[in-house]
Amino acid sequence: MVMSGEKPGPRTAADATDAAAGGDAAAPTPRTPMSLRERKKQLTYQAVSDAAISLFLERGFDKVSVAEIAAAADISKPTLFRYFPAKEDLALHRFADHEDESARVVAGRAEEESPLDALRRHFLDGLEARDPVTGLCDVPQVLAFHRLLYGTPSLVARLYAYQGRSEAALARALGERVTDRLAAGQIVAVLRILAMENWQRISEGRSADQVYADAVEAAEQGFVQLRSGLED
């Protein structure tokens, strides 16, 4: 969710979806380098998804068949399904890289920083950087992808599965007690709602700069509520 410095707008459908999923956000903790085999596999994922997303943005998700996507990517349908079990994953697979992002923020925080403080800082940094994952991004290609995503019920439903895995990863980072699972569910819900509110305002015609102050205020209120619970 966090970047440092505003990024230039993406120029292709693939760039747009990478941005919409926070695709080039810096990870809070270093990751093990991928092997050559893993890199080749990732490139195939990207190439097939790029072909699919271009078709989705051009014609709409429901009007594009899996056979057409396979043909555009120059692979067979069985090969496509080995990479993407469901059609929806063709549009959403980049979110998988961010399922554990909140968990990594918690794991990588400074010793004196609480999990909630780390997540608050991370989200506010994302707002300042206009990170698409926060919903505060008015790059046209990103808006087009978000319209595709939130305007397609099957994609929205599939996205909840990704968010469920994000919640589980965060619960493990917090300690995996019942109270940790409850906290993770609340945190993920707050982040999702804040992002949706920001995107909704921008989709109504306001710029990211115009929405920014309200977005920060809403985020601060959200984290205050997380700290204090539902009772005032």
Q: What percent of the chain has pLDDT over 90?
A: 63
Q: Which residue has the higher pLDDT, 6 or 183?
A: 183
Angle 120-123-128 (CA atoms, 0-180°, nearest 5)?
125
Q: How far apart are CA 114 and CA 101, in angstroms?
A: 16
Question: Average pLDDT, stretch 193-218?
Answer: 96
Q: How far apart are CA 171 and CA 63, in angstroms?
A: 38
Residue 21: per-residue pLDDT: 55
Residue 8: per-residue pLDDT: 33
- Decide if pLDDT at 6 tops 70: no
The pTM score is 0.78
Which residue in the block uniquely carries the two structure tokens 């509520």? 225
Run of H or E residues at 186:
helix 178-203
- Residue-wise pLDDT for 55-107, tens only, equals 999 999 999 999 999 999 999 999 999 999 999 999 987 776 678 899 999 99
Q: How far apart are CA 65 and CA 10, in angstroms?
A: 26
- Residue-wise pLDDT for 133-161, tens only, equals 899 999 998 899 889 988 999 999 988 88
Q: Which residue has the higher pLDDT, 66 or 176?
A: 66
- Decide if pLDDT at 5 tops 50: no
Residue 231: per-residue pLDDT: 62
Q: Which residue has the higher pLDDT, 34 or 15?
A: 34
| End-to-end Cα spacing for the chain | 29
